[in-house]
Amino acid sequence: MTTDSSVFETDLATLRRLLGPPREAEGGFVRWTNVELLDGSSGAAVAEAYDTLHHEEVLYHHDAATGLRTIIAIHSTALGPALGGTRWYPYEDAEAALRDVLRLSLAMTAKSAVAGLDLGGGKAAVIGSPADRTPGQLAAYARAVNHLAGRYITTTDVGTTTADLDALSEFTSHIVGTSPERGGSGDTSALTAETVMLGMRAALQVAFGDESLEGRRVVVVGVGKVGGRVARAGAAAGASVGVADVWSEGAERLAAEIGADVLDPATAYTEPCDVLSPNALGGVLNEQSIPELRCRVICGAANNQLLRDPEDAELLGEHGILYAPDYVVSAGGVINVAVELDGYSEERARAIAARVYPTTLEILELSERLAISTADAALRRVEHRIAAQVV
């Protein structure tokens, strides 16, 4: 039987191997600052995509009383507190959780910066099944968030719900995305889908010289909260919509509602179309899949769609496919919760979200003008905004 102390020691050994010696270790809290991921053997730094600033901080916490194990990564606070969701997931080990939060916190820096928000990027991972979550673990996790003294603000992600945030809000004020009854904005999927559609129209304008969806073929892969709204919006705008989801019942129900056709999730990505909209898994655009694609535009809300960023964006360009960077077009969710920090206003959130169209257009046009990938063009915008703030 694995004891709490052995779990802590195993996790700590793993994190030391990857991050080096911690700066502080006290009372179940272990902290690293100015983090560079190491290769685990030679101690050499491993370059992470977009990691031009390195990570400012990583906090590991193990609460022996409840069994909670969490890793919180802060990539950047150059523009403001690091905002990012809590992913409660049964990771194989601490290394898998660490790599996830490093990658995702870095993406949150980019998403907030390009959206024009005065926020940085962070992310948290709790190692464990959401089904086994206890009230004690939620309280222990809130203490980890509080340990960062406002440098990190959390919200929902995979494995956490608005109800969980409401429970966490009893123990921490460093939180957004709670229910309207708790002063939050509630479900962010509507505004996320709205910004995806704004990005899609901008991409159509660049690709075809016409932003209209009328008569276009749009394939939506993943029809959950966001993807379902994207499919509905596309159909309402006159597009011929195909939908695919591993949850076939949901795809069939949505298709019947909006007059779409149901596609096999295994082959949906290679369906001939004007727009492919990935709204499910990340890493779907890679060396193996890209040559098989038969679309002109890619625009969806799935995080980290490129397996290798920016290399796979370059490969998409070589195949004549215009990629709207996911963190640019899916900014609606972070915008929605960010507005809560000054008192939530739907009108203000929608006004900020409206910027996604001109921002996407500028990024795609910069890519064409400089003959660089759309991922590189988006990164230039992120770096420019952060550098201007730092100076």
Specify whether 123 is catalytic: yes
HEC letters along the chain: CCCHHHHHHHHHHHHHHHHCCCCEEECCEEEEEEECCECCCCCCECCCCCCCCCEEEEEEEEECCCCEEEEEEEEECCCCCEEEEEEEECCCCHHHHHHHHHHHHHHHHHHHHHCCCCCEEEEEEEECCHHHCCHHHHHHHHHHHHHCCCCEEEEECCCCCHHHHHHHCCCCCCECCCCHHHCCCCCCHHHHHHHHHHHHHHHHHHHHCCCCCCCCEEEEECCCHHHHHHHHHHHHCCCEEEEECCCHHHHHHHHHHHCCEECCCCCHHHCCCCEEEECCCCCCECCCCHHHCCCCEECCCCCCCECCCCHHHHHHHHCCCEECCHHHHCCHHHHHHHHHHHCCCHHHHHHHHCCHHHHHHHHHHHHHHHCCCHHHHHHHHHHHHHHHHHC
Query: Six-digit token pair at 11?
Result: 């996790």
Residue in 123, 174, 229, 381 annotated catalytic: 123
Radius of gyration of the chain (CA): 21
Active centre residues (catalytic) = 123
